[in-house]
Structure 1
Amino acid sequence: MDVATLSRGMDTIWVVLTAAMILLMEGGFALLEAGFVRQKNAVSIIMKVFVDITFGALIFYFFGFAIMYGKDAGGLIGTSGFLMGGDLSHINLNISHDTYWLFQCAFVIAVISIVSGAVAERIHFRAYILYTILMTGLIYPLAGHWVWGVGGWLGKLGMIDFAGSAVIHSLGGFSALAAAIFIGPRIGKFTPDGKINIVPPSNLPLASVGAFILWFGWFGFNSGSTLSATNGSIGHIAVTTMLAAAAGGATCILFTMFRYKKADPPMVINGSLAGLVGITAGCAFVSDGAAILIGVICGIAMVLATEFLESKQVDDPVGAFAVHGISGSIGTLAVGLFAQPELTKGVGQEYYGLFYGGGWNLLGVQALGLVVIATWGFLLTFGAFWLIKKIAPVRVSKDEELIGLDVGIHGVPAYNQEHDFLDVERIKAGK
């Protein structure tokens, strides 16, 4: 076996394994969101995750991948690669196109899962399926092509987003914000006079396990984006990923102890996730110290953003916008500040942040790309739900919401107990 064949085989194994790690994050999303919502809506969370994986994978195979990575047309859209056929010769990698599709498929599934949490406990299942098709087949692939596609206009300007703080998390976060605003708050979350009612999570240990699974998968998310098992940056990427997550969580422990007089468990969980989101764009390009600082900033910003949304009566049950939209924005801009050229040689190009002699150019491009992607996600999601509402109910009925989506929509509770059976049947019968 020659060296080239061995290298291709190692890279293929690396990318498939890291893609599997990212796909395992769906288990993390399921547990995290099921733990954050009320017990009566746990099954609905699991069903939406299955929609993400099943519909998301199929739609991305049929045409999403082609729009994102096909042969470029005007820097705006890909035009080849539908059903993984046609001309994909411009994708010049040391792995097969099938392997590359699998890795990118894991990414697109993560994007739609971000929106899932923001509309938990009140979105209609049919509407969610339709939105998943639009997000995985059009909204995300177009934005992704602009940055990551060969010839994409933001990529040609020099925008850097190594593993997706902007393309995945900012897009998903601002889409989640639009969805939460469009669908409205849960019944009883806010009183007519503006008072905020706390809706306690049903199972914080479950949510914690979900966060740990997401944390594990993030090493595949970031380190796997090298697409090479022999890339010298893998170790550094893993370290910055770990440090940012730890800094985000530790900061939230201390910040909530200061702000609320007690460490707030949901905030701490989301603080670690915020650090992970924030480091995703620059994990290969920033120092260990910068990674810690990014985690600290994301942790504090996440808490403040959560409070701000609630003050505006926007109901986001799992904090999707605060974690992904805000931290993704911070991470995208941080590349323009902290990118160090000596760290970026391993990924084939040198990038200079503002603090390392690069001037304002990279930061300006990052800011432009962030605004474009965030605006695109927000407006297209709002428009998508407006269109969906014309053909299907977007929100469940009041009775279904009060009963819970598990029984009201899916006909089965998450946790069966013998003495509950008769009550469930009575509820379903409207008695």
Structure 2
Amino acid sequence: MDTVFLLNSLWVMISAVLVILMIGGFILLETGSTRMKNAGHIAGKTILTFGISSIVFWAIGYGLIFGEGNSILGFSDFFYSGYEVEGLGLSGPVFFLFQLAFAGISLTIAFGGFAERAKLSVYLGFALLFSVFVYPFIAHWIWGGGWLAEQGKQDFAGSTVVHLTGAMAALAATILLKPRIGKFNKDGSPNNIEGHNQVFTALSVLLLWVGWFGFNAGSTLSADGAFFGFVALNTNLAAAAGTVAAMLISWIVVGKADVPMMLNGALAGLVAITASCAFVDTWAAVLIGFVAGILVFYSIRFFENRKIDDPIFALSVHGTAGVWGTLSTGFFATKELATVGRPGLFYGGGFEQLGVQALGVLVCGGFAFIVSFILLSILKVSMRGLRVTEEEEIIGLDLSEHGSYGYPELVKREVESAGTVNGASPHSINTAN
């Protein structure tokens, strides 16, 4: 076994671990961005659904994406047994784990649109269906040698495959679930339902930022030549630019340097550079991240003004930024770096690559939304609704779905305090947290 094979395998294994650890970042992000009464539920269902997606990917997903088939779907290599893949240049099981992690991240993004109001059973059902009928199709089209790959679609690490796919599934969920209780007034004006722990959200962004080096740089699938360092540099620059841009635009428009917006800007920069990190120069990475930071600010307002309740801002951070990131290679991919497809518009490639990128956005985004909407509609009928009852939502999903709180000692103190003051029952407190 040669040294390059071992180094490639080690590098991608480290990257796979970093991507899987991003699940922890998403737990803190979603928990910190929502209310205390749902914290334990959010943390637990994220781990459980990642377990479901892992089993489904092993049994079916990997074969649908990378198995031998046609330009639409693969039809072999189900129940992956750990065999090696000829010509891959690294360990087959390592590659499998790396790809499994991406599938899990896309599902986690989708579940941002379910937050604080979906039944646990719906999470479980959709985790299974999304992992079979949504993600594998799009991943095969672009990464598995499918029809978009044949067109030269550029998506190095998943602005379309992972992020836009998850965001469009989240959009379908937010439409069918409808807004949380108290999110909008009768006149349609929105109320700000604040997350319970801004430190959690800040820490989550840092963890995701670090994990993204595995996400993007790991997608080189090779340690040979150390090109992963260049990809990591572009990734970091875009995240930094997104952070600064979101802070500046919020400061200019609302007069305050909004912390959640700053954090969302960092994530938007990361999402945007994910498609183009290996195809563009460093100055373009900064510009791509900066534009993403501005876009996420206006996108959040756009969806909120249309009464779409997106608690984790998945539609803006992963959807809008994913679209921009996908299109950006059609502008900025250089002749030297465009190992897939053609150079971008600004590098003499004309509109051809931009057209391919736009086609990918429309087809993949539309497919993810329509199929997710259909699947969720089926679950709505078969499970007698997607949403918990009004009483259960007010009590919080920690208690109503699991029988315990994520912060039991804090809740007990509130119960005791409320009972001392006015004889309140446990079900009447904690609705504001």
Could you state the TM-score of these two structures normalised by the residue count of structure 1?
A: 0.94
**Contact conserved, 1:81 with 1:88, CA < 8 A, in 2?**
no
Q: Distance in 2 between matches of 1:204 and 1:64?
A: 36
Q: CA deviation at 1:85?
A: 5.1
SS at match of 1:62: helix
Q: Which runs of 5+ in 2 are unaligned?
A: none
Deviation string, structure 1 residues 378-417 (Cα, Å, up to 9, x no partner): 1111111101012113111111000000111111111122
2:365 alignment counterpart: 374
Aligned with 1:252 (options 230, 246, 251)? 246
Q: Residue 142 of structure 2 contacts residue 149 of structure 2 at CA under 8 Å; is this kept in 1?
A: yes
3-state SS, counterpart of residue 134 of structure 2: helix
After superposition, what is the alpha-carbon deviation per residue over 1:205-239, rounded to whole angstroms, capped at 9, x for unaligned?
11110111000000000000011111442111011
- TM-score, normalization: structure 2? 0.93
Matched-pair contact (CA < 8 Å) for 1:339–1:352: yes
State the partner residue of 1:101.
96
Indicate yes or no: 2:77 matched with 1:81.
Answer: yes
Q: Compared with structure 1, are the counterparts of its residues 357 and 265 closer, same or farther at alpha carbon in structure 2 (3 Å cutoff)?
A: same
Q: Could you tell me which residue of structure 1 aligns to residue 271 of structure 2?
A: 277
Question: Which amino acid counterpart does residue 44 of structure 2 have in structure 1?
Answer: M
Instruction: Please point out which of 282, 285, 291 is paired with 2:285.
Output: 291
Q: C-alpha separation between the residues in 2 aligned to 1:34 and 1:112?
A: 16
Residue 63 of structure 2: aligned partner: 66
Q: Aligned to 2:126, which of 131, 147, 169?
A: 131
Residue matched to 1:363: 354
Q: How far apart in 1 are the matches of 2:196 and 2:83?
A: 50
SS of residue paired to 1:202: coil
Partner residue of 1:173?
A: 167
- Would the aligned equivalents of 1:119 and 1:176 in 2 still touch at CA under 8 Å? yes
- Percent identity of paired positions between Structure 1 and Structure 2: 40
Please, which runs of 5 or more residues in structure 1 have no aligned partner?
A: none
Which deviates the most, 159-168 or 42-51?
42-51
Whether 1:265 and 2:259 are equivalent positions in the alignment is yes
CA contact (8 A) 1:336 1:353 kept: yes
SS at match of 1:274: helix
Partner in structure 1 of residue 38 of structure 2? 41
1:310 Cα deviation (Å)? 0.7
- Give the distance between the partners of 2:7 and 2:25, measured in 1 at CA: 27
In the TM superposition, what is the alpha-carbon distance from 1:118 to its structure 2 partner? 1.7
User: Which shows bigger deviation, 75-84 or 170-179?
Assistant: 170-179
Which amino acid is 1:149 matched to? G
> Which residue number corresponds to residue 389 of structure 1?
380
Contact residue 252 and residue 268 of structure 1 kept, 8 A = yes
Equivalent residue, structure 1, for 2:48? 51
Select the residue among 406, 410, 414 that pairs with 1:414: 406
Task: Report the equivalent of 1:307.
Answer: 301
For 2:141, the equivalent position in structure 1 comes to 146
* Paired position in structure 1 for 2:13: 16
Moved over 2 A (4+): 85-89, 348-351, 418-430
**Partner of residue 310, structure 2:** 316
Q: How much does 1:320 deviate?
A: 0.4
- State the alpha-carbon separation in 1 of the partners of residues 340 and 53 from structure 2: 32
Q: Shift of the alpha carbon at 1:419?
A: 3.4
Q: Is the 8 A contact 2:213 2:235 kept in 1?
A: yes
What is the aligned length?
421
2:396 paired residue number: 404
